[in-house]
Chains A and B, each alone.
Chain A
Amino acid sequence: MNELSPMAASSDVVHLSIAEASRLIAARKLSPVELVGAFLARIEATQATLNTYITVLAEEAMEAARAAEAEIAAGRYKGPLHGIPFAVKDNYHVKGVRTTGGSRLMLDYVADETATTIENLCASGAILLGKLNTWEYGTGDGKVHGDLPFPLARNPWNTDHFTGGSSTGAGVAVAAGSAMFALGSDTGGSVRLPAAATGVQGMKATYGVVSRAGILPNCWTLDVAGPLTWTSEDNAIVLEAMAGYDPRDPQSLNRPVPPFARGIGTGIAGMTIGVVRDLGPDVVMQDEVAANLAAMEPVLESLGARLVDLTLPTTLAEYRTITGIINYGESFSIHEEDFMQRHHLMGASLKAKMIAGFHLRAVDFIAAQRRRRELALATDAVIRTVDAVLAPCTFLTAPPFGDQDELTRFTFGAATSPFNVTGHPAMAVANGFDAKGLPTSAQLVGRYFDEATLYRLAFAYEIAANTRAARPSL
């Protein structure tokens, strides 16, 4: 690779989208070696302030970059992810690399397998930069105590503020330009909440579409692995490469993967969008969050969409109660032995969750799973009356550290968990900022297996409202 694009020489290369970077890489105007090098420099420049990463795989990434460069030079271009650097929440296993789960219980654990999703992405040519900060085992009780073995990840828009969890490093990496895309995992919101907190796009696909093999489990029947990206198109590209049947994962569905990115720009003329306005009596939305959500509607209408009111079959409070029972019960069953024998090594947030799960009766768990089935069917019946749903994501912007009540409300007061309970695809999309410059977001929800419609909608809105222009100044 003899020619250097002028762009490659500047730090703006870390702010390229996957789509933009791949065009340059395919045209041999940008080398994976330069790209990875720029990201590694960016990591180094931001790590002390943001604590984004737990483990950086610099040597391995550069070696992979050189291999990618050689392959592309030899004419073996694999596709839009070839040479694209990414990072994963530190609950994803990579063979030979430590998986800490953000926990003292796993600081010495070296994985003996690689998560299927990572294998899929590397087979597409993507390059792993490292493991990202996370709440302990990807879970907790909403409070942030600062008692975990790694310093807290910080919000690049304001470093005194929370990043969203539990994939605490994933949104940060993408927003700050220290990974071109990130993988998180979502049980009640843990992909969409960090995305909302940091103003990036985060997708929780339909339950069963993305393999969970090689990812530490948090909750058997709720966990979904998902991508965080700067743009909707990037998200579609990554999901397409991540998804697909995996016999290693009992909940993986044997369905073909649709080409999510194809037709993403065809627009939304004629799309019927259900707008969820009333989530129940206890919902209190920050003014700017509400205003930015409302401001989306004329934009969508100007693009030719038809907006109708949509009412979910029950209150947000009931969805949350059901999720909580299932989550706490299953999470406890996963960590019971460690809780009984090594709880002194657990952080306070995980321990609190474990104590709640310990006391949970089987009869309540069974009742919750049965009510869940009813809610899934009833919610699906409502969603199927429209093409897509526009709903709130969080009701607050990312709170400052120190206020446990507000931090807990950011996480547990969001509208994300209903779609874990029902399994519908749901995506956090950035839609503006509050008065302090912190991002606000909305949530798009789709019919089962219809991520493509959500991407088309998110893309059209993103371009029309120009939400991807401003990056945090670091």
Chain B
Amino acid sequence: MNIRATGAPPALGEFPPTAVEAAKDIAAGRLSPTELVTLCLNRAEALQPLLHTYVTLDAEGALAAAAKAEAEIARGHYRGPLHGIPFAVKDNYDAAGLPTTGGSRLHDGSVAAEDSTMVARMKAAGAVLMGKLGTWEYGTGNGGEYFDLPITTTRNPWDPSRFAGGSSTGTGAAVASGTTVLALGSDTTGSVRLPASACGCVGIRATHGLMPRAGLLANCYAMDVPGPITWTVEEAALITEAVSGYDPRDPSSAEVPPFVRPAAMGGSIRGLRIGVIRDIGPGFVPDAAMTAAFEDGLTVLEALGADLRETVLPLSAKEQFAISSIIGPAESAAIHEEEISNRATVMGYGLREKLLKGSMIRAADYIAAQRQRRVIAAAMDAMMTSFDAVITYGACHVAPPIDDEAAMINFTMETALTPFSLSGHPSMVQCTGFTPAGLPLHWQIAAPFFGEATMFSIAAAFEAATPHRQRRPSL
């Protein structure tokens, strides 16, 4: 790991400001990008032995980028609200000059020749790349943690004996612990939303095709999307604006007009029709604390004037998860077929187990699952478009102890995240409170296709009306 060589680890310092707070000060010349990234680098170095959020910390590159941002701003060339803001990316994103390890021994250690589109667009907006964050092997696994990867498993900043969520394991932890300001992960059936949930952050899974995935290691063609993880909703909207839009390098990229942040973030949500899904179906039961926070949250939205109506998923979350369990592993196995045949012993157990399962899936079952998915997606869309947005649970459980394999697997599997992966609708998670032990709780907000603005408006209004963003992990 590339860190500045010093004697003792630097002092921890404060948490960094949010990108929104920092942008005001940076634009006004009150805060230098170098100062800001140094604060983050210090925290990253100090917390790495405890939390292991980074795989590669590029202090040299970050300081150079910050200096460049500073010079540009001094010359009067202010690129916008992301200029000089530190960010880090899951180590399945290519960033020029840095290795993309995918958290795997299969990787040959070579550095990426060019930036992934997401990284390129963030850099074009002036953001400062700090490095690559922890990930499950190739962004996937079987839900369990086996401590057998070449990288040390990231820990939850709210309780380091607990899991930080996966597969973007470093992203939620990095943002929650302030070892960066903004992070990018990727989500197939929850890999952005789960780390965000486990670490009390905002996690976005945008409409399939809105954010380009060129330059990311592929996990599942049908469901992979890149996704931001941030402390606040407005920061997520800033990133969405900077990175979205058609990319000819990405065959799944949607040709739609560019995303524009809603004019009044945190403005009125009076009259918005929100479908509430309390019952995600048999077999998946949210913890009592999760439910209590969910209901409290609905009360807040009602007080803000939202029009809440009960609705249901067209197919239970568990049944939808079963369908994704055929599509995901089969496609992952197709991606890694050569490696399964020739280098399976080099893989970690989690990836190997998933890929072997995927190799056994028959074409007939994959085809049937894709056809079912089409039918369910149409039914989901019919339900979603009868509202402005939908609210439901994300995961059923809080971040589990990392050495409890059953709890680990349940945390990842027992969720209402998969329906939106199957259908491609945008969804996000945000913090709704904390357990008595101080672990974050959350809910999931979803919208019709390309309805990110509505989703952000509701989440921002909730955020502004609640105190949860004031609470950070005690580190």
Binary A-proximity of B348-359 (CB < 8 A = 1, otherwise 0)? 000000000011
- B364 adjacent to A333 (CB under 8 Å): yes
Asked if A361 meets B362 with Cβ closer than 8 Å, knowing A329-B367, A330-B367, A333-B367, the reply is yes
CB-contact partner of A362 in B221, B251, B361, B374, under 8 A = B361
CB of B364 within 8 A of CB of A363, answer: no
B363 near A329 with CB under 8 A, answer: yes
Bitwise, B308-350 to A at CB < 8 A (1) or not (0) is 0000000000000000001000110110010000000000000
Look across to chain B and name the residue whose beta carbon is closest to the beta carbon of A360: B363
Interface flag for B138 (CB, 8 Å): no
Bound: A249/B371 CA distance, A = 14
Most chain B beta-carbon contacts within 10 A, residue among A325, A361, A365? A361
Q: Are B337 and A367 in contact (CB under 8 A)?
A: yes
Expressed in whole angstroms, the Cα–Cα distance for A364 and B359 within the complex equals 9
Alpha-carbon distance between A362 and B362 when the two chains are bound, in angstroms: 5
How many Å lie between the Cα of A365 and that of B363 in the bound state? 6
Bound-complex Cα distance A357 to B362 (A) = 9
Task: Return chain A residues, CB-CB under 8 Å to B359.
Answer: 361, 363
Contact bitstring A236-276, B, C-beta under 8 A = 1, else 0: 00000000000000100000000000000000000000000
Instruction: Give the complex CA separation of A365 and B251 in angstroms.
Output: 19
Q: Which residues of A contact B364 (CB under 8 A)?
A: 329, 332-333, 336, 357-358, 360
- How many residues belonging to A are interface residues under a CB distance threshold of 8 Å? 21
A366 within 8 A of B: yes
**Contact between A360 and B331 (Cβ–Cβ < 8 Å)?**
no
Does any Cβ of A come within 8 Å of B411's Cβ?
no
**Which residues from B are CB-within-8-Å of A361?**
359-363
Mask, A348-391, CB within 8 Å of B = 1, is: 00000000011111111111001001000000000000000000
- Point out the residues of chain A lying under 8 angstroms from B368, CB to CB: 333, 336
Q: How far is the CB of A86 from chain B (nearest CB, A)?
A: 32
Check A362–B337 contact: CB distance below 8 A: no
- Chain A hits for B365, CB < 8 A: 362
* Bound Cα distance A329, B371 (Å): 13
Whole-angstrom distance from the CB of B435 to the nearest CB of chain A? 40
1/0 per residue, CB under 8 A from B, across A313-357: the answer is 000000000000100011011001000000000000000000001
Bound Cα distance A52, B363 (Å): 35
Interface SS of B by simple majority: helix
User: Cβ of A363 and Cβ of B333 under 8 Å apart?
Assistant: yes
Closest chain A residue, CB of each to CB of B331 = A366
**A216 → chain B closest CB, angstroms:** 16
- Indicate whether B366 reaches chain A with its CB closer than 8 angstroms: yes
CB distance from B294 to the nearest CB of A (A): 37
List, in ascending order, chain B residues with CB within 8 A of A363's CB.
330, 333-334, 337, 358-359, 361
Report the separation of the CA atoms of residues A373 and B251 in the bound assembly, to the nearest whole angstrom.
10
Most buried by A among B251, B326, B358, B362: B362
Q: Which of A250, A333, A359 has the most CB of B within 10 A?
A: A333
CA distance A365 to B334 in the complex (A): 9
List B contacts of A366 (CB < 8 A).
Answer: 221, 330-331, 334, 366
Establish whether residues B334 and A358, one from each chain, have CB atoms under 8 Å apart when the complex forms: no
Q: Report how far A258 CA is from B11 CA in the complex, Å.
A: 73
Q: Min CB distance, B152 to chain A, in Å?
A: 32
Minimum Cβ distance to chain B for residue A343 (Å): 15
| Docked-complex contact B334 and A360, CB < 8 angstroms | no
What's the minimum C-beta distance from B362 to chain A, rounded to whole angstroms? Answer: 6
- A116 to chain B minimum Cβ distance, whole angstroms, is 20
Expressed in whole angstroms, the minimum distance between the Cβ of A221 and any Cβ of chain B is 10
> Taking the nearest CB of chain B, how far is it from the CB of A248, in angstroms?
14
Residues in A with CB closer than 8 Å to B337 are 363, 367
Task: Give the complex CA separation of A360 and B367 in angstroms.
Answer: 11
Residue of A nearest to B329 (CB): A362
Q: How far is the CA of A220 from the CA of B361 in the complex (A)?
A: 19
Determine the distance from Cα of A220 to Cα of B371 in the docked complex, in whole angstroms: 10
CB distance from B248 to the nearest CB of A (A): 13
Chain A residues near B360: list those with CB within 8 A. Answer: 361
A83 to chain B, nearest CB (A): 41
Residues from chain B with a CB closer than 8 A to the CB of A325 are: 363
Instruction: Please name the residue on chain A nearest to B333 by beta carbon.
Output: A363
CA distance A358 to B362 in the complex (A): 7
Chain A residues closer than 8 Å to B371, beta-carbon distance? 220, 333
Contacts of A358 in B (CB 8 A): 362, 364
Q: How far is the CA of A367 from the CA of B362 in the complex (A)?
A: 13
In angstroms, Cα B367 to Cα A333, docked, is 7
Residues of A within 8 A of B251 (CB): 373
CB distance from B344 to the nearest CB of A (A): 14
Residues of B close to A362: CB separation below 8 A: 326, 330, 333-334, 358, 361-363, 365-366
How many Å lie between the Cα of A359 and that of B363 in the bound state?
A: 8
From 367 to 414 in chain B, residues with beta carbon under 8 angstroms from any chain A beta carbon are: 367-368, 371, 374
Which residues on the A side are within 8 Å of B221 (C-beta)? 366, 370
A333: chain B residues at CB < 8 Å are 363-364, 367-368, 371
Q: How far is the CB of B29 from chain A (nearest CB, A)?
A: 50
In the assembly, what is the distance between CA of A363 and CA of B334, in Å? 4
Compute how far the CA of A359 lies from the CA of B362 in the bound complex, rounded to whole angstroms: 7
Instruction: Report how far A202 CA is from B366 CA in the complex, Å.
Output: 33
Q: Whole-angstrom distance from the CB of A330 to the nearest CB of chain B? A: 6
Nearest Cβ on chain B to A212's Cβ, whole angstroms: 15
- B116, chain A: closest CB distance, angstroms: 20
Residues of B contacting A330 with CB < 8 Å? Answer: 367
Task: Check B331 against A365 for contact (C-beta < 8 Å).
Answer: no
CA distance A292 to B426 in the complex (A): 58
A373–B366 Cα distance when bound, in Å, is 18
Report the minimum CB–CB distance from B312 to chain A (whole Å).
25
Collect the chain B residues with CB atoms within 8 Å of residue A336's CB.
Answer: 364, 368
Bound Cα distance from A265 to B218, whole angstroms:
51
Contact with B along A420-446 (1 / 0, CB 8 A): 000000000000000000000000000
Give per-residue flags for B430-472: 1 if the beta carbon is below 8 A from chain A beta carbons, else 0.
Answer: 0000000000000000000000000000000000000000000
* Measured CA separation A180–B179 after assembly (Å): 77
* Docked-complex contact A357 and B363, CB < 8 angstroms: yes
Contact with A along B155-178 (1 / 0, CB 8 A): 000000000000000000000000
Chain B residues within 8 Å of A, Cβ to Cβ: 221, 251, 326, 330-331, 333-334, 337, 358-368, 371, 374
Apart from A360-B364, A361-B361, what are 4 other A-B pairs with CB-CB below 8 Å? A333-B371, A362-B330, A365-B367, A366-B331
Q: List 8 A-B contacts (CB under 8 A).
A: A220-B367, A250-B374, A333-B371, A361-B361, A362-B365, A364-B363, A366-B366, A370-B221
Q: Nearest 10 CB-CB pairs, A to B?
A: A329-B363, A362-B366, A362-B330, A365-B363, A366-B334, A360-B363, A333-B367, A362-B361, A363-B334, A333-B364
